[in-house]
Amino acid sequence: MSETSSMSSAAGSTDAGPFHAAEIAVQQRAGVTDEADRSGRRGIRRYMPEQHRQFFAEQPFMVFGGVDASGQPWATLRVGAPGFVSSPDARTLRIEGGALPGDPLADSWREGALIGGLGLQPQTRRRNRVNGRVSSVNGDVVTLEVLQSFGNCAKYIQGRAPEFISRGSAGAPPEIEHATELNKSDRALLARADTFFIASANLASEANLARGVDVSHRGGMPGFVRIDDANTLTTPDFSGNRFFNTLGNLTHDPRAGLLFVDFESGDLLYVAARAEIIWEGPDLAEFPLAERLVRFRITEVRRSRAVLPFRWSAVDYAPQFPALKPAQESDSSVWRKLRIAAVHDETPSIRSFYMESIDDTPLPPFEPGQFLPIRVPVEGASTPIVRTYTLSDASDAQRYRISVKRQGAASSWLHDHLSAGMHIDTMAPRGAFTYDRSTTRAAVFISAGIGITPMLAMLQHAIAARTTNAQTKPLYFFHGARNDSERPFSAYLKELADRHADVSMHLFDSDSNAVIDSMSSSGRVSIAALKRLLPFDDYDFYLCGPDAFMRDLYEGLRALNVADERIRFEAFGPASVKRTPDAVTSTTLKQPNDESSNAARQPADAVPVTFSRTQRTMQWLPKNGTLLEFAEACGIDAPSSCRSGICGTCSTRVLQGSVAYDGPTEADIAPGHALICMSRPLADENGSAQALTLDL
């Protein structure tokens, strides 16, 4: 019987699972056999979902795994303008552009060859897998028949964005090096590596549906690839999707192909090795988060110099890892302790806390407007309370500053207990309410009370960017308080306005007895005040403050025909700001469990989403993607796995509002819940955005 007919027969059998015997053996040892079988049968398809097909076509590179003539697996990259990978139908993947110089698989893309593929978008931490067989080769165009397709979770992916650049003249051949062990420059690259890819294979006919080549991603903090000697590496194996495709293949055939990318030079380092899985022993203690280790005995090393045509943005380490700490020294959670460097009273009720790293390592950078998650050991609480406070100063690698108003148990604890020299648990900064660096429009920052904190960070950044880039667009700053003594940073704001002629400062005091000076006015920040003080122009508005304050300003700005997308806001606590989108342009998407009631309803263009457990309300816009992507961008801990509506891990209770789905889902959805990995806020029956509240 031919391979094709054998596989077709297996696919038609209800007993044929997606894993081969060695994968199942590893699953058994890890104690996840039933879980993996259930997830695999539901999540591993014989075709690509529409979401995956579109995703592959949007990427400028894709990772592939294959085997050479000797059976040695290699991982490699193919690159091109988005669209170089396309999908004529759900069972076909088409790859154009040819191999990069020095690709060890360049001669292995022949008809019948088994290939593993991984689509990865580091800047969004999305990835999807596809395994198949080469059905045709026409010049530089390779067509794959899809045999397996499934999604992967976002864990351990380091955020960085690629940008195409020229790599010198077309006539200059790149330098290709071959060796049998790591040299000094190879070891330096591996020592600072935070990402690599691994190819493995099981080509035995008895593997049935699971026969083929797999290529997988591995991520960790610099140092997670331990260089034991010039021919030996040891790496941790973290908790993943529990399929154990790589370890199963390595159990069957220990040959592996590792690929390391030098994100600075564009070099690709290919390593052929034989793998040994280490299930237990003292070595595991050296790798926090590791559930087991893999030791690689190197047999060959190849380096292709400067062949990758990308410039990469600065790395944004995955939230699973303590920020900027080597794996050997890191804590086993995502929390990192910072030292309180200083405490300063801004007003009688607002106090600023300055934080610095304990070991003098640089602090992760942040976007103006983002916040810092903090864990507070409040008395009487069984576990620490997690709260988020906006960073109130410009990004500084040496110090963070948060400015906290005393209101509630957590903030009161900070005021009463936190002093210089103490330590506090924090995560890396995050949040979707940020200053738009790309706009050419003038910015108007409007806040009241403690809502000044993100506005101040944005103003400082905008001033610095204008000074550096010789920008001349004006900046307008409005803030309301009861009086000047209750306005945080009042003296500093006035000093900024004095030093920068293009900063128009407007401070409002609602207390009728307040002392008014040249930069302040009596009353409250209002639409009438904006109309009086803002010259007619095209602006981006940023709002932050109490609920009623923002509602009045938003509705007033919309009444003045300010485009909805140019009004950005953040609320503290549940907000009742109801957006009025300019036009509904999204394609109608039905909820899978209620087709009739939603047949005429569409995803909203913009909507406030409240995460109930942290009482934080953020503005969702279509560019923010799915509710899972939005929650992650806002620093909300949202469980997920397949990210394609299969596994049900991300099922979340919807407390208010409705959602629409990006495509078909397979997981069972409990009443009152939504799969946030595939959903977006839904407009009401009148096409207007409605507030959405999630139990997160």
Query: Which tens digits make up the pLDDT trace of 422-456?
Result: 999 888 887 778 888 777 889 999 999 999 999 99
Task: Give 240's contacts (C-beta < 8 A, 6+ positions apart).
Answer: 153, 155
Q: Per-residue pLDDT for 322 more than 60?
A: no
Q: Residue 688: its pLDDT value, please? A: 65
DSSP reduced 3-state for 456: helix
- CATH fold of 335-426: Elongation Factor Tu (Ef-tu); domain 3 (2.40.30)
**Residue of higher predicted confidence among 406 and 641:** 406
Q: Residue 538: its pLDDT value, please? A: 86
Q: For residue 613, what pLDDT band results from cuts at 50, 70 and 90?
A: confident
Answer yes or no: are the C-beta atoms of 159 and 112 closer than 8 Å: no
Give the residue range(s) of CATH 3.10.20.30 domains in the chain.
607-694
Q: Residue 5: its pLDDT value, please? A: 30
Q: Per-residue pLDDT for 208 more than 50?
A: yes
Q: Per-residue pLDDT for 621 more than 70?
A: yes
According to CATH, the superfamily of the domain at 18-312 is Electron Transport, Fmn-binding Protein; Chain A (2.30.110.10)
| In CATH, 607-694 is 3.10.20.30 | yes
**Residue of higher predicted confidence among 395 and 498:** 498
**Residue of higher predicted confidence among 599 and 254:** 254
Q: Per-residue pLDDT for 326 more than 70?
A: no
CA distances from 487 to 284, 437, 481, 482, 571 (A): 53, 27, 6, 8, 19
Answer yes or no: are the C-beta atoms of 394 and 460 closer than 8 Å: yes
Give the residue range(s) of CATH 3.40.50.80 domains in the chain.
442-572
Q: Per-residue pLDDT for 591 more than 60?
A: no
Q: Per-residue pLDDT for 336 more than 50?
A: yes
Give the residue range(s) of CATH 2.40.30.10 domains in the chain.
335-426
Q: Residue 375: its pLDDT value, please? A: 85
**CA 118 – CA 90 distance, rounded (Å):** 16
* Count of C-beta atoms within a 10 Å radius of residue 409: 14
Specify which of 186-195, 432-441, 584-593 reaches the highest per-range mean pLDDT: 186-195
Q: Residue 325: its pLDDT value, please? A: 41
Q: Per-residue pLDDT for 9 more than 90?
A: no
**Residue of higher predicted confidence among 557 and 394:** 557
- SS3 for 56-96 is HHCCCEEEEEEECCCCCEEEEEEECCCCCEEEEECCEEEEC
Could you tell me the pTM of the whole model? 0.54
Q: What confidence tens digit (pLDDT) does each residue in 264-287 have?
A: 899 999 999 999 999 988 888 778
Query: For the domain with range 442-572, which CATH number is right: 3.40.50.1470, 3.40.50.80, 3.30.70.2390, 3.40.640.10?
Result: 3.40.50.80
* C-alpha 598 chain-centroid distance: 30
* Count of C-beta atoms within a 10 Å radius of residue 392: 27
Q: For residue 115, what pLDDT band results from cuts at 50, 70 and 90?
A: very high
Rg (CA), the chain: 27
Q: For residue 288, what pLDDT band results from cuts at 50, 70 and 90?
A: confident
Give the chain's mean pLDDT. Answer: 84
Average pLDDT over residues 378-403: 84
Q: Per-residue pLDDT for 597 more than 80?
A: no
Average pLDDT over residues 54-66: 94
Q: For residue 614, what pLDDT band results from cuts at 50, 70 and 90?
A: confident
Which segments of 400-450 does DSSP mark as H helices, in order?
409-417
Q: Residue 12: its pLDDT value, please? A: 34
Q: At what angle do helices 33-43 and 21-30 cross, to 10 degrees?
A: 130
- For residue 25, what is the enclosing H or E element? helix 21-30
Closest to 571 (Cα-Cα) out of 579, 562, 582, 581: 579
Closest to 249 (Cα-Cα) out of 281, 212, 283, 220: 212
Q: Residue 603: its pLDDT value, please? A: 56
Q: Per-residue pLDDT for 330 more than 70?
A: no
**CA 688 – CA 583 distance, rounded (Å):** 9
Residue 371: burial class (beta carbons within 10 Å; 0-12, 13-18, 19+): buried
Q: DSSP secondary structure string, 613-678?
A: TTTEEEEE-GGG-SHHHHHHHTT-----SSSSSSS-TTEEEEEES-EEESS---S---TTEEETTS
Task: Give 56's contacts (C-beta < 8 A, 6+ positions apart).
Answer: 48, 62, 85, 86, 87, 93, 117, 119, 128, 130
Give the residue range(s) of CATH 2.30.110.10 domains in the chain.
18-312
**Residue of higher predicted confidence among 571 and 329:** 571
Long-range contacts of 168-172 (CB under 8 A, 24+ apart): 168/306
Q: Residue 305: its pLDDT value, please? A: 93
**CA 363 – CA 16 distance, rounded (Å):** 50
CA distances from 88 to 13, 53, 94, 418 (A): 27, 9, 7, 60
Q: For residue 361, what pLDDT band results from cuts at 50, 70 and 90?
A: confident
Q: Residue 471: its pLDDT value, please? A: 54
Q: Residue 2: its pLDDT value, please? A: 31
Torsions phi, psi for 337 (to 5 deg): -80, 135
Q: Residue 7: its pLDDT value, please? A: 32
Lowest-confidence pick of 219-233, 295-309, 569-583, 680-694 = 569-583
Average pLDDT over residues 227-244: 90
Average pLDDT over residues 21-50: 84
Q: Residue 615: its pLDDT value, please? A: 82
Answer yes or no: are the C-beta atoms of 270 and 258 closer than 8 Å: yes
Lowest-confidence pick of 71-75, 291-295, 315-319 = 315-319
